[in-house]
Chain A
């Protein structure tokens, strides 16, 4: 009974968050909307990663692989077959899911764990990047432009007149990913993931097939990540191997769920809400520093230094992420 109540609660919260985002967006200017898009975008990717890295406890350092597969699949289908990016997204997710299955099978079947698994996923992503860089089929490292047809089109996921529609597109995708996240977290599947995360052998002894569930986790995680990749291509208008398969993407993806709270439903979103504006804030701070810090004005690199310090501080003072810190704070309040 209480499980049912908690279950409903998360979905209601998702509804509330979605409504708030949607309504607030109507009052934002173009720049603020693009920030909001970024927040939801990275939250989506973080939530997808979180299913494998947080719930199933398999730390992936190569999620760019799925992101890139999603991106390239949808753009290639669009360019060669005039397929709508929404369909392309689904195709990309399927392909990424297959690739995830391959990587997962090779890794888990052969007992790769922890840092070994992480580096193996990184190696796979890098292989995709380097192979893509010399594949004439997808235009090598020169990349592919999304052909612009002018005006707005939901079918082709292009909004040249009303770019704020991209916000609603990412909101839809974000809701989809969060629905899956919540479902995973609150259903048996999620509990099995966590059991495997905590103690794989014990879980196996209790009849939970680690390989099967780990594979499920990586496939779901990979497929959802690909949605983000497809969105990126349409929103950004251009793709090349470096942009979508690079290690920078893999790192960005895992940054927010860890900071927000790994293995929690809302950690990725909270991490995104904090980190994305934080980066913007540090840049702005260096552009217009307070009078006593004038010396740093405009100095390149200072903003990232500040960001690095804040990141370090967050990790030191909030080892369970922001959500975890809030939980501990509440416990201290109550005791």
Chain B
């Protein structure tokens, strides 16, 4: 098996063979297959839709994480805890001042950016030349600190918010649309739709920032070759601060987008933390498009678990796919081959 899988051509032959086999099996069981499909069709469609919608938010979180890794070589274990901070900020703004969470993004993003810069400067940079496992423990310590600080400040009671629009008839510009949408038998809520759209907009914004601006070029140069970048005049330290800030700001945006359909308690960000790590590695460490692709794969796979393996918890499918992908491409889907 191992020898066969080594060469690229053989991999393709192998994959084609697997698909052919699947098609034959399906064909032979056409009746049962179509009956099953009919029964499960709406669930399949919902799994696809939810997977994409949630995947969008995961993408935002994962892109921040992979950006940080690409430039700073840090696996930021505190990513989820920082998201929780963003969620609490969003909650407090809504609960005390009535600020809509989609508006409070304008506050959480710069706030989390600043927090990110401070964390990088004060906590991470002093240990910057340390091996990666040290940085892992460092960010783990930070996560513990943040989580329990929030426990002390807000107590452990979960909080959630309810928007007074988005259910039933909702005016969107000149149209009146009834939410949740029920397209082709699926259910799409306004809050998840907005989260998805805004996550994609921010992702596009991040892409433009990285590709088209001088800052972006400096960041990419730093990620590719730190010494080379320093030689051509890039201020590595400053770029490091800014990159960490941006990475955390992504998570701040995700926090505001997520709160309307989720909840916040001191450990609320943990779910996103682990999933983000899986996505980032799946997509290839340091690759932004990889994180995007990985996020959708994970999101859809997760939801498909409900269709195909309902008695198992959803994540099982994700881990299986994760391992399979890594075996095929050990550097992740779009990671750099060493």
Contact = CB atoms under 8 A, between A and B. Distances in A.
Kindly state the interface size class of chain A when it binds its partner.
35 or more
Interface string B63-87: 0000001000001000000000000
A112 interface: yes
Chain B binding surface SS class? helix
Contacts of A53: 133
B137 A311 contact: yes
Contacts of A334: none
B315 A258 contact: no
B2 interface: yes
Nearest to A119: B281
Given A113-B338, A127-B316, A300-B152, A308 B144 contact: yes
Interface in B141-168: 141-145, 147-149, 151-152, 156
A16 interface: no
Contact of A126 (B141, B319, B331): B319
Contacts of A17: none
B278 interface: yes
A315 B140 CA distance: 11
B213 interface: no
Contact of A130 (B143, B281, B315, B335): B315
Given A59-B133, A258-B133, A123 B319 contact: yes
Interface in B288-338: 311-313, 315-316, 319-320, 322-323, 326-328, 330-332, 335, 338
Interface string A300-313: 11101101110110
A106 to B, nearest CB: 6
B211 interface: no
A133 interface: yes
A311 B144 contact: yes
Interface stretch (B15-23, B124-132, B182-190, B223-231): B124-132
A284 interface: no
B323 A315 contact: no
Most B-side CB within 10 Å, residue of A106, A113, A315? A315
Given A112-B326, A305-B144, A308-B142, A127 B320 contact: yes
A116 B152 contact: no
Interface in A299-331: 299-302, 304-305, 307-309, 311-312, 315-316, 319
A127 B323 CA distance: 10
B7 to A, nearest CB: 13
A213 interface: no
B311 A134 contact: yes
A106 B327 contact: yes
B277 interface: yes
Given A111-B330, A311-B144, A316 B137 contact: no
Contacts of B126: 316
A247 B273 CA distance: 12
A262 interface: yes
A259 interface: yes
B148 A308 contact: yes
A127 B313 CA distance: 10
A312 B134 contact: no
B285 interface: yes
B197 interface: no
Contacts of B138: 311-312, 315-316
Interface in A245-266: 247, 251, 254-255, 258-259, 262
A87 interface: no
Interface of A: 53, 59, 106, 109-116, 119-120, 122-124, 126-127, 130-131, 133-134, 247, 251, 254-255, 258-259, 262, 299-302, 304-305, 307-309, 311-312, 315-316, 319
28 contacts: A59-B133, A110-B327, A113-B338, A115-B69, A115-B281, A115-B285, A116-B285, A116-B326, A119-B281, A119-B322, A120-B322, A126-B315, A126-B316, A127-B316, A127-B319, A127-B323, A130-B313, A131-B316, A134-B312, A255-B137, A258-B137, A259-B137, A299-B152, A305-B145, A305-B148, A309-B141, A312-B123, A315-B138
Interface of B: 2, 5, 69, 75, 123, 126-127, 129-134, 137-138, 140-145, 147-149, 151-152, 156, 266, 274, 277-278, 281, 285, 311-313, 315-316, 319-320, 322-323, 326-328, 330-332, 335, 338
